[in-house]
Amino acid sequence: MEKTIGVLGGMGPLATVDMMHKIILNDPAPTDQAHLHVIVDCDPKIPDRTAAILEGGADPVPRMVASARRLVQAGADVIVMACNTAHYFYDQVQASIPVPILHMQREAAAFAVRAGYRKLGLLASTGTVRTGLYQACFHTFGVDIVTPDDALQASVMQGIRAVKAGDLDRGAAAFQAAGQALLAAGAEAVIAGCTEIPIVLRSGPELCVMDPTEVTAQAAVRWAATGGGFAEAAVALAAGDARGAD
């Protein structure tokens, strides 16, 4: 029996729409009625995650938990969070509800292993970079992560804020320049490790972009259609050398 996908959103709103858009595009349904049921809770009042982690800002967990519980009450069987940095608080939110939350970094790491990557650059919020969300998951699978220096990271944050404010061209320019710098530092491709980034940065002739939003959307569709997803695949890969396994 098909399951219902819940999207814990608002962090930010445009990234939430991007997640839902990718869920729909990855659902191979020939008609409206064949599509999976998706429930979205978009709460832009969830406090800033990076500010909470690095600056002692307001705790986002209570509103994240409230959003997750609303999704469960509305019928969600599995949840995705349309924000990378929010996964720093993953364990607290997951412990508050009885349904699984797909973990974006773990899903992305499993995808990277399947794709055969060995060294990836990380474009993400300063909160995501400094807490090592991607580094920890990817190093488990033997994939190295290259991060920007302080000046370049400041530029990435300016780009993220620009996209949140609706200045998509400015954001795209910042991310493209940072991505090129990471390629020059030895990365095979770059991870769009903030959900604002893949809204404006896509793979092209000069830059290969790995999109965790897309990967998580694909996993959510698989989970909802079959009752399982890449979360289990990631555990299996961590337990042994299954690089490249299908």
- pLDDT per position as a tens digit, 125-181: 999 999 999 999 999 989 999 999 999 999 999 999 999 999 999 999 999 999 999
Burial of 116 per CB tally in 10 Å (0-12, 13-18, 19+) = exposed
% of the chain surpassing 70 pLDDT: 92
- The catalytic site residues sit at 83, 194
CB 179 within 8 A of CB 156: no
Q: Which of 56, 25, 22, 20 is CA-nearest to residue 38?
A: 20
Domain 5-103+213-229 and domain 105-212 have a common topology: yes
Please report the pLDDT score of residue 228 as a whole number. 61
Domain definitions of the chain by residue range:
5-103+213-229, 105-212
Sequence length of the chain is: 246
Q: Residue range 10-20: average pLDDT? A: 97
* Contact assessment for residue 238 and residue 140, using Cβ atoms and an 8 Å cutoff: yes
Residue 64 in contact with residue 89, Cβ under 8 Å? yes
Per-residue pLDDT tens over the stretch 66-113: 999 999 999 999 999 999 999 999 999 999 999 999 999 999 999 999
pLDDT value, residue 1: 81
Question: What is the secondary structure of 76-137 as a DSSP string?
Answer: -SEEEES-SGGGGGHHHHHTTSSS-B--HHHHHHHHHHHHT-SEEEEE--HHHHHHTHHHHH
pLDDT over threshold 80, residue 230: no
Diameter of the chain by CA atoms? Answer: 50
Angle, helices 212-226/13-25, rounded to nearest 10 degrees: 50
Amino acid 215 reads V
CATH 3.10.129.10 fits 5-103+213-229, yes or no: no
Given a contact cutoff of 8 angstroms between Cβ atoms, the answer to whether 153 and 147 are in contact is: yes
Picking from 37-51, 177-191, 223-237, which range would have the lowest pLDDT averaged per residue? Answer: 223-237
* Statement: 105-212 belongs to CATH 1.10.20.10: no
Instruction: Choose between 107 and 237: higher pLDDT.
Output: 107
Tokens of 118: 């060995």
Nearest of 66, 80, 5, 70 to residue 35 by alpha carbon = 5
* pLDDT value for 226: 86
What is residue 85's predicted lDDT score, i.e. its pLDDT? Answer: 96
**H-helix segments, 116-229:** 126-131, 133-140, 150-164, 168-184, 197-200, 212-226
245 has a pLDDT exceeding 60: no
- CA-nearest of 138, 158, 116, 122 to 244 is 116
pTM above 0.85, yes or no: yes
